[in-house]
């Protein structure tokens, strides 16, 4: 009887220790996420030329040119616009995103061939963006309030965070390797709803920008690799500028035409 009681007390103590450790890692994870989010604020705007490269499982490549513009808002309520410039079959296609701090982001895709725009919502957000390995969800806002965080590990140069969406998502979790130097992810693992590793994004070719008295580091290349299909997609940036003047009227859904 005494032995069973001691075992029971030991299990209670052990479970409490695990609970406290989990709470500590979650608190630390949230703290790190807030540090990263704050480091990325007050850039005002971001405009650039972009290239999207689609690579199939056999290594064949298709290249597309885009222009990208982002207007920073208050409390993570920013707006972004992607417009395809070439080739001809996608020219004029536009993706408009209105980011929100807590509620779901709003996204509209304009298709010139149909001369209409459609709203991307619900389960469609986990769908492929223009045949790439990036989903619409990947191109929307990742504000801290939308996720639960857990610090998995920390080294001198990086944090490793797990984040799980509080809202409907195509992912069960994401595991992020975050550079302390760049205050940004250098690698993100995306796990599907079954818990399998679906794809991995690698961020590289870092460049420093200065807006006012604040420095920002931006990856000029994101390489997304699908681990289930062996397909890949690459986003790269050129002629990138932060802090310029961009008219907010550009980001109206009514102007998608």
Asked whether residue 1 carries a pLDDT value surpassing 80, the answer given is no
Binned at pLDDT 50, 70 and 90, residue 2 comes out as: very low
Q: Which domains does the chain have, with CATH numbers?
A: 38-255 (2.50.20.10)
Distance CA 204, CA 185 (A): 10
pLDDT number for residue 96: 97
pLDDT number for residue 114: 86
Binned at pLDDT 50, 70 and 90, residue 10 comes out as: low
Q: Locate 61 and state its tokens.
A: 């490549």
Q: What does 30-96 look like in DSSP terms, one character per residue?
A: HHHHHHHHHHT----EEEEEEEEEEE-TT--EEEEEEEEEEE--GGG--EEEEEEEESTTTTT-EEE
Query: Does 12 or 226 have the greater pLDDT score?
Result: 226
Asked whether residue 54 carries a pLDDT value surpassing 90, the answer given is yes
As a whole number, mean pLDDT of residues 33-52 equals 95
Asked whether residue 224 carries a pLDDT value surpassing 60, the answer given is yes
Distance CA 250, CA 100 (A): 18
pTM above threshold 0.85? yes
Query: Does 220 or 21 have the greater pLDDT score?
Result: 220
Q: How many residues does the chain have?
A: 257
Distance CA 23, CA 35 (A): 18
- Of the candidates 256, 251, 253, 237, the residue with the CA atom closest to the CA atom of residue 65: 237
Query: Does 3 or 172 have the greater pLDDT score?
Result: 172
């Amino acid at each position: 009887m005494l032995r069973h009681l001691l075992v029971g007390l030991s299990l209670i103590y052990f479970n409490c220790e695990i609970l406290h450790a989990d709470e500590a890692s979650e608190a630390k994870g949230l703290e790190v996420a807030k540090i990263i989010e704050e480091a990325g604020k007050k850039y005002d705007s971001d405009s650039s030329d972009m290239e999207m490269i689609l690579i199939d499982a056999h290594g064949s490549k298709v290249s597309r040119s885009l222009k990208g513009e982002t207007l920073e808002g208050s409390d993570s309520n920013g707006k972004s616009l992607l417009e395809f410039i070439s080739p001809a079959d996608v020219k004029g296609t536009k993706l408009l995103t209105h980011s929100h701090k807590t509620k779901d982001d709003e996204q509209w895709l304009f298709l010139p061939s149909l001369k209409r725009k459609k709203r991307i919502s619900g389960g469609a957000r986990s769908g492929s963006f223009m045949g790439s390995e990036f989903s619409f969800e990947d191109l929307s806002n990742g504000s801290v309030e939308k996720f639960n965080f857990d610090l998995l590990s920390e080294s001198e140069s990086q944090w490793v965070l797990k984040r799980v969406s509080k809202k409907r998502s195509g992912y069960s979790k994401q595991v992020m390797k975050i550079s302390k130097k760049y205050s940004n992810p250098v690698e993100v693992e995306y796990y599907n709803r079954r818990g399998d590793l679906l794809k991995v994004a690698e961020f590289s070719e870092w460049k420093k920008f200065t807006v006012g008295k604040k420095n920002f580091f931006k990856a000029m290349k994101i390489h997304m690799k699908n681990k289930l299909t062996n397909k890949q997609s690459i986003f790269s940036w050129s002629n990138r500028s932060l802090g310029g003047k961009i008219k907010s009227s550009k980001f109206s859904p009514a102007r998608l035409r």
